[in-house]
Amino acid sequence: MANFGSDNTSGVHPTIVESIVAASAGAAPAYGADDLTRSVESKLSALFECDVTVLLVGTGTAANCIGLATLCPSVGGIFTHAEAHIVNDESTAPELYTGGARQFTVGGDDAKPDLEELEQKIEVSGARGVHSVKPSVISISNLTELGARFSPDETAAYSELAKSRGMKLFMDGARFANAVAGSSDSPADLTWRAGVDALSFGATKNGAMAAEALVFFNPDEAMLAEFHRKRGGHLWSKHRYLAAQFDAYLEDDLWLDLARMSNVNMARLRDGILSSHNASILAGGDGNELFITFKEGVAESLLQRGHMFYAWPSLPNAYRLVTSFTTTAMEIDEFIDDLK
């Protein structure tokens, strides 16, 4: 029986568990003054080929919202896709952290914000001055919420729009590893070289326990971020345990290997679905998420057999399938067999 419910239901990768265990030996300075944290910062600067400012936190919501709070004033507007995680899955966290900024949403295929609609919404909001909301941030997700990947050129188009209006570009990278794994472009190409100001670089969904890195490509913009982390209660006292996760995650490209595994699993699953007459693909597949629709009765039958996956309410008759590094070929094949 296959579990395609969520990459949040997986356990922690053994190498990361080992790193956590190893970190327990002896005392270490608290609040990020430890050696492991320095190591993570070096590795991320090397990975992104530039000096980055890094804040490690335990959840994706924290990474996203501390990032947004740093880039967006309380009187500001954040423009993003209607499917975005920050819109639908983080309660009023963006409002809390920004001090009451507002999110504006647009449509767009594959949960990529439609550029024209985006520009128009920004225009409308900006035109009314203080009666409306000050356009401040464009936020995109890579992978998008519908499992699609942005190319550097696509990202640069958002950046150009943002820069032309004095706005910032934020990237929610909860599944950034899967985006990199599916791309021939470097992490630097996919982010700051394409104009991204800050990125939340996820690890939790890809083998870590509770660890996300908020990465600023311009240290000046990160000035207030550390205060936002602290006042959000996200500065761990035993910070080495966040660092231990990330240190192992970044060592020997573990992060990339795990994401590749997830993506390979997804490719196998997608091939199986393409060969079936009982399901068709609606979106996704660039990384480890696929959105499909079933012929009548098929979903129920699969669920009854014990396969696990969820309906996706924003697409008609859609279901989301997610693979992870723990997915096995056997699971996939069993699912495809039952599907046919």
Shortest reach from residue 153's CB to a copy of itself, in Å: 32
In the chain, what's the furthest Cα-to-Cα distance? Answer: 59
DSSP 305: T
Shortest reach from residue 77's CB to a copy of itself, in Å: 8
Other beta carbons within 10 angstroms of residue 156's beta carbon come to 17
Query: Apex CA 176: angle with CA 244 and CA 40, to 5°?
Result: 25
Shortest reach from residue 233's CB to a copy of itself, in Å: 4
Shortest reach from residue 277's CB to a copy of itself, in Å: 30
Q: Which residue number, 155 or 323, has a Cβ lying nearer to a copy of itself?
A: 323
Q: Which residue number, 98 or 142, has a Cβ lying nearer to a copy of itself?
A: 98
End-to-end CA distance of the chain: 15
Shortest reach from residue 151's CB to a copy of itself, in Å: 28
Can you tell me the distance from the alpha carbon of 335 to that of 271, in angstroms, rounded to the nearest whole number? Answer: 12
Name the helix (H) or strand (E) containing 242.
helix 240-250
Report residue 318 CA to chain centroid gap: 21
Q: Which residue number, 12 or 339, has a Cβ lying nearer to a copy of itself?
A: 12
Q: Which residue number, 58 or 195, has a Cβ lying nearer to a copy of itself?
A: 58
Handedness of CA 149, 151, 152, 157 (dihedral sign): negative
Can you tell me the distance from the alpha carbon of 42 to that of 50, in angstroms, rounded to the nearest whole number? Answer: 10
Structure-derived torsion over alpha carbons of residues 274, 278, 282, 286, reported in degrees to the nearest 10: -30
Q: Which residue number, 275 or 328, has a Cβ lying nearer to a copy of itself?
A: 328
Tokens (6 digits) for 248: 């192992």
12 φψ region: left (φ > 0), alpha (ψ -120 to 50), beta (else)? beta
Q: Which residue number, 101 or 302, has a Cβ lying nearer to a copy of itself?
A: 101
Shortest reach from residue 253's CB to a copy of itself, in Å: 21
